């Protein structure tokens, strides 16, 4: 998809792209971690966010990281990514077996 085509994405198309990126995220990480060398390690949520940010940049022109959200019960928070063209918020989390 070209940058020009991305500018005119419908919200439903943008959501579909984000879903595909999320579904294929593990396969991307496995590919980056070749058996011959340890090219990439994911140790924490920030590592996940870095890779996800790069993948989102492939498809969206205006990916904004760490955007503030409206306060809730007086507390401010930030979203991991705001995709302006699709008006989509993406929040990345890392999981592990002990969180079951």
Tell me the per-residue pLDDT of 40-78, one tens digit each, with 9 for 90 and over: 788 889 999 999 999 999 999 889 998 887 777 777 788
Query: What pLDDT is attached to residue 19?
Result: 95
Is residue 56 assigned to a domain?
A: yes
Q: What is the mean pLDDT of the chain?
A: 82
Reduce the DSSP state of residue 48 to 3 states and report it: helix
The pair phi, psi for residue 84, each rounded to 5°, is -65, -40
Is residue 1 assigned to a domain?
A: no
pTM: 0.75
**How many CB atoms are located within 10 Å of the residue 78 CB?**
11
Is residue 2 assigned to a domain?
A: no
Q: Which has more pLDDT, 4 or 23?
A: 23
Is residue 36 assigned to a domain?
A: yes
Q: What total number of domains does the chain contain?
A: 1
């Amino acid at each position: 998809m070209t940058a020009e085509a991305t500018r005119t994405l419908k919200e439903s198309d943008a959501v579909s792209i984000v879903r595909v990126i999320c579904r294929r995220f593990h396969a991307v990480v496995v590919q980056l971690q070749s058996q011959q060398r340890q090219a990439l390690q994911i140790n924490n949520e920030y590592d996940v966010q870095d890779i996800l940010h790069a993948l989102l940049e492939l498809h969206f022109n205006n990916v904004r990281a760490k955007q503030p959200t409206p306060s809730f019960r007086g507390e401010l928070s930030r979203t991991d990514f705001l995709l302006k063209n699709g008006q989509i918020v993406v929040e990345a989390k890392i999981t592990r077996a002990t969180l079951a």
